[in-house]
Structure 1
């Protein structure tokens, strides 16, 4: 880059828009600047030669989810995150993406954002690429200022979120006013979603927030970290089916965390969305209950996300408390099978538990026990004889199922 051209980037800029226009003028191509979560910060003008991906980004003010996912699969974003060199990206027609060059804006190892250049009518030369890299180094200061402002806002937002989920903020109008001040539409129903992880670090937390904010099933309004638990205050997008949208978000989030970071153990709990913001704490409590029970009954509740999906396990604490207060004895059927197993070195109690877990589906139960169905039918007959129970009686069956869950998870 000549000294004259370098001076054009060394000067002070009144805005990112002015800066991005300077890059576009130098490279004679349309340019966009995004933050680290792929939200659009500034873009230059373009003619009719632009592509669908750029248009969607400008209209939605963020890169479309399908484009981000494809960039991850193609290794584009991981490469940008690990280097400050410009990356040439060939066109990908099925997502409406033309030929591009991208470079990360970074401070040391921290990615602050990205510059994207759409090659329209020309290919960038080696000199162009060197100039783009230099421009990215100059964009650092502007994005650092934005990041400082963003972090200050996030701290205030997190304080508000803690007030909501602890019940310190109780008045709907006051909460709505506070949310309105931080740019949240106070007419939408809001909910809390929780994700529990086995380990946590500042770096992982940033990555998790990135995944959540680029998975565009729900809108993340505020997020915070509570030890190993990530807390999101969310609203649903255009769809009226919040439960469906949220379950899709949870599954997509878990899949992307697994694929990108190799994290297999993620426990999710979702609260319902409420118009009355005094009930945001209720949403948090619902999500917490889901997390707590899923951690205890991992196998039984692995597909549950919402409180209603807990089924009879919603009442497990009441059953435990009743048993404790009334000093009730353990179901005699369980005692009899336990005694028989101990004396005869059998596993009839475990067999009964699996049959109940499979809702009486003998084929599925036999697969899990690695035995023939005929063998299992014989065992079931012996179980009913020894324990003096009838599993065809739904009252006995449901009661025994709950008794075993309470007893075996003591």
Structure 2
């Protein structure tokens, strides 16, 4: 049998479908072949027995995200990625998965794809598993060629993204055609999301690329890396619900990055969707503005993703970029408070800023300052005695908030 199969594998194949059919004929089981990002490349054509997970994969041309997530949770994909041995997977009814055997297609340490065999009747034996290893080795060359084509396509897409970001679009019609080829729909809005990452290594780049290619919570048209940033060009389902859709995507994406790879992002900035594709650079500028302010005010803007969520800091951003800011005199009340802190080794300026940050929620402010509420009330009375300011006065309160933030970052 092995000699016969070896001869069969040594011949050329018109397509991966022919190759999948050959494996299926020998194993008498349905076969699918996927790329490293779980997109369907080929499946055997004569399958009397199958399961719902395979049907969904064939219809959607990719493995459903709930199946991928379950495989990560159960350790299936990590085991496949770090071994060239077949892996037996028992039935998982919750995701419509019958008995499976899977093996990774590899070149050295790089995973090029996977072969999945549906074994509903549990008929595969050791000889069949050895045959599957032979099939994975044979598939290597075909997937290497596919990989080269995919990487060339990604480079072209990334070049297109940079043209859009910089506003230097050489040919608008060609740009629209390229976007349509990668899944953008006519008249669909697009937006930019940026993730700031500390210590972006090659391994982490591969892991993030895998996630952007496998997520189905949001349509990601193009991704690229720029120094310490992951940049995504996304196409929301509906411009009117973009914020909600993005927040759901971020919740899922961040959890997967943390759970699977034990990584976190430093900051995230989201631009708004644009209907005119020539103005996508505006979405990029909005996202970078959010990141810039989050870098300056990480504590205050920890939960902000969009420009409108920056609140008063939108105006602080405008004031910071105004030349007259350097000429603006420091609030005398704050100068008095700073002098008192220096001379008495106190932290009343920090106390005032924290109370303003927490909008007079003294219990939360006291917890942040690690003191009792009564102690905080005493400090506030002391601040009023020193500065003669009334933080209950809304006009003074808003002015103080701006003054403190601008003074803290003016130099």
TM-score norm. by structure 1 comes to 0.95
For 2:56, the equivalent position in structure 1 comes to 56
Check conservation: 1:218, 1:246, Cα contact below 8 A. yes
* Residues 238, 52 of structure 1: alpha-carbon distance in 2 compared, 3 angstrom cutoff: farther
Report which stretch shifted further, 319-328 or 220-229.
319-328
Question: For structure 2, which runs of at least 5 residues remain unmatched after alignment?
Answer: none
For 1:352, the equivalent position in structure 2 comes to 352
For 1:233, the equivalent position in structure 2 comes to 233
For 2:378, the equivalent position in structure 1 comes to 378
Distance (whole Å) between structure 2 residues aligned to residue 129 and residue 280 of structure 1: 50
Distance (whole Å) between structure 1 residues aligned to residue 2 and residue 182 of structure 2: 44
For 1:318, the equivalent position in structure 2 comes to 318
Distance (whole Å) between structure 1 residues aligned to residue 238 and residue 125 of structure 2: 43
For 1:389, the equivalent position in structure 2 comes to 389
Offset, 1:172: 5.2
For 2:45, the equivalent position in structure 1 comes to 45
Check conservation: 2:348, 2:379, Cα contact below 8 A. yes
* Residues 23, 240 of structure 1: alpha-carbon distance in 2 compared, 3 angstrom cutoff: farther
Distance (whole Å) between structure 2 residues aligned to residue 137 and residue 373 of structure 1: 69
Offset, 1:142: 0.8
* Residues 182, 370 of structure 1: alpha-carbon distance in 2 compared, 3 angstrom cutoff: closer
Check conservation: 1:217, 1:236, Cα contact below 8 A. no
Distance (whole Å) between structure 2 residues aligned to residue 144 and residue 233 of structure 1: 27
For 2:121, the equivalent position in structure 1 comes to 121
Check conservation: 2:190, 2:233, Cα contact below 8 A. yes
Offset, 1:48: 5.8
Where in structure 1 do 4 or more consecutive aligned residues deviate above 6 Å?
Answer: none
For 1:191, the equivalent position in structure 2 comes to 191
Report SS of the residue matched to 2:131: helix
Distance (whole Å) between structure 1 residues aligned to residue 375 and residue 170 of structure 2: 59
Aligned residues: 410
Check conservation: 1:355, 1:361, Cα contact below 8 A. yes
Offset, 1:369: 1.3
Distance (whole Å) between structure 2 residues aligned to residue 359 and residue 280 of structure 1: 36
* Residues 121, 352 of structure 1: alpha-carbon distance in 2 compared, 3 angstrom cutoff: same
Check conservation: 2:105, 2:140, Cα contact below 8 A. yes
For 2:260, the equivalent position in structure 1 comes to 260
For 2:406, the equivalent position in structure 1 comes to 406
Offset, 1:264: 2.7
Offset, 1:12: 0.7
For 2:164, the equivalent position in structure 1 comes to 164
Report which stretch shifted further, 247-256 or 43-52.
43-52
Offset, 1:357: 1.1
After TM superposition, the structure 1 = structure 2 runs for residues 282-297 of structure 1, keeping only pairs within 5 Å, are: 282-297=282-297
Report SS of the residue matched to 1:232: strand
- Measured against aligned partners, the alpha-carbon deviations of 1:99-146 in whole angstroms (never above 9, x if no partner) come to 111100011100001111111223310011010111011111111111
Report SS of the residue matched to 1:241: helix
For 1:147, the equivalent position in structure 2 comes to 147
Report which stretch shifted further, 47-56 or 356-365.
47-56
* Residues 87, 326 of structure 1: alpha-carbon distance in 2 compared, 3 angstrom cutoff: closer
Aligned-residue Cα RMSD (Å) equals 1.8
TM-score norm. by structure 2 comes to 0.95
Question: For structure 1, which runs of at least 5 residues remain unmatched after alignment?
Answer: none
Report which stretch shifted further, 39-48 or 207-216.
39-48
* Residues 291, 219 of structure 1: alpha-carbon distance in 2 compared, 3 angstrom cutoff: same
Check conservation: 1:91, 1:100, Cα contact below 8 A. yes
For 2:15, the equivalent position in structure 1 comes to 15
Report SS of the residue matched to 2:327: coil
Offset, 1:237: 3.9
Offset, 1:243: 1.5
Report SS of the residue matched to 2:225: strand
- Measured against aligned partners, the alpha-carbon deviations of 1:369-394 in whole angstroms (never above 9, x if no partner) come to 12111111121121122111111122
Check conservation: 1:100, 1:118, Cα contact below 8 A. yes
Distance (whole Å) between structure 2 residues aligned to residue 172 and residue 361 of structure 1: 53
Offset, 1:265: 3.7
Check conservation: 2:88, 2:101, Cα contact below 8 A. yes
Offset, 1:303: 1.0
Offset, 1:66: 1.2
For 1:81, the equivalent position in structure 2 comes to 81
Report SS of the residue matched to 1:4: helix
- Measured against aligned partners, the alpha-carbon deviations of 1:147-199 in whole angstroms (never above 9, x if no partner) come to 11111111111111110001101875453234235553343111111111111
Check conservation: 2:99, 2:122, Cα contact below 8 A. no
- Measured against aligned partners, the alpha-carbon deviations of 1:258-305 in whole angstroms (never above 9, x if no partner) come to 122221343211111111101111111111111111111111111111
